[in-house]
Structure 1
């Protein structure tokens, strides 16, 4: 106690500037220690700098020549499609760089309303609401919709944005084991005492490439009087016969109540997210969803790109069929070579390696061979389940895919991941 009084007296006599410097030095020490622990664990995430537009072939700072990109959510190859780019430029010229405001003040333009209507038509829902990202859509939904009288039941491997959005709401929270319908049913039985029950799941899980069993989920929801929410960020545009998503793929479009998705992946790759569902819900979100009320409206160029991407998608589904064939080509060749590929029939193809440092080293050596992939480790995925997530695009050629497999086999043998 005496030592504490002496320290307090010394600090009280010290100039404020020196006390602030001492606090800053303490902060630096704490931060450096934490950063060093990340480096030591082999989970440090470096950012590679791309010096070209997004596409199947890119240029990367420090890497020689052209690089084949197998690490983008550009599933349909529309991020550099000339018509998508032109639509963005046209909106930029006509509507400006941005609105400098939120939607309800002076940040709503006709193009925002037109895109929301187009999204609702595409998903066959009553209405839609735009956000700066799908992360914001997930942050805005649960708090506005659910109260302490309600319950939300979430798959344990849902995307971080769903998890964070659920944390913000006051509803009773149940987490069921990944894709485990028996556990979901047990949780639904337990949640019967609450007013509303909302089952929340990703349609396609971004780290594993597996797909939620929506038919079974919807059957259980109907049996126990629950609603169904699906995040379709890794499904919109390419799953299902016409690219509507997992609910179309599995024939339950009329049973899923709420869909959140993104404009920043298959639909042009710029930015933006949305919620689509019942008109009354969308109206409530316009009044209460904090990311909507307190974030600038989506920039006109991004709106133009997404709108044109939807037009192209609704004109033809040929590009969807092309991607499915290329996904099968990659998965079958990699499995024949001896790699374990998680998921099934999804262009997200996680090459499971287990060790974080191994995944990092293989990804680095792949880049030296002209293939852009990234190793994923904790906290993005659970400890001991490090992987390299390969993502197939409709604009990859068969030669691109074969070259990627050949590089994996060579590097895998070099690092002992293959016999």
Structure 2
């Protein structure tokens, strides 16, 4: 029987604390682990490239294009994937995504040249499409808006954590060169791809599709959750939002631009940073450990920033400030000639990029109604991910032409600066026009 005692003034009721705690214990470890594995499988190509590019004959431009083309299939299938999740249920659909991307990720071990490399990256993007926006949508079924900032920050923590854990692991796996006649980078793909398949099978048994299917919630807890979601969500009409209307939604387009800056920066550094660090003349193992440092710092600070965002409810400010930090730090990358300074500057870039994610997705799910969010969250992630495609490709092209990774990062700085200015202007315009007069909307302004 759930304890319904009232808490002291200013604190959340016992039923609220107990319900959120129960949901978090049951769902977040599996979802966090899933996204952790997804991001390792998506970005481990950056470590594989240290030796793979020479082994199969990839130039920086070819590698950049192949690494980026992942996002074309990813973007094309994200919205249909989110709609399918809403129709068939999170348990089956998220498990399907995990199993298929794990199989493709392991299959990356058998690429033999530019063409097969590009094809496999397309297949990996198609297999993984919908996982992140699907989980963001899934979390809206379980968490009222007031709790989403820290929860989404915890989930998004998997992105830098993937590099914290995956970098040393990938550096070690490259040392398996010659084992059973395979290259070290082939073992990297195989060993890091299998866990997704295993976790997908586990999800089929442990992941409920909706609170109504969660036997571990009491009737009182389900009632509280249903009432809280209904009370705190923006009002929405029944039915389906046409895709054309979603694509032309000004908020969706603005949020896509903002997400584009964080996606482009985080993806570019995930893919190219190991090669940048390798340029200081280090061993594969040293690269693995040192590459993890900026991501470890970002992991810790993004959770603290997400909690602070929930306490203040200033979603715009808490999104703008870290992205601005990334833009400023990127401007200093060309001046970071020494390795310690280089790692310090990259830490600032990544702290800004990842700290923005929790407040940003909270802002997105509060600006959009539940009905709009079904396709809207996927559209934001899809359009934003196109920047990751263009960013990786652009970095490779500039590197081939100039020989400089630092110059290749400058377009990312410009994108971050533009997104910050656009969000500030839009938020102020929205406040002046009193769009969304509900108190939770007014708190979103800067």
Specify which structure has the bigger relative contact order, considering alpha-carbon pairs within 8 angstroms and separated by 6 or more residues: 2
Larger relative strand fraction: 1
Q: Is the shorter-chain TM-score for this pair beyond 0.5, marking a shared fold?
A: no
Higher Cα radius of gyration: 1
Per the normalisation by structure 1, the TM-score is 0.25
Per the normalisation by structure 2, the TM-score is 0.24
Larger relative helix fraction: 2
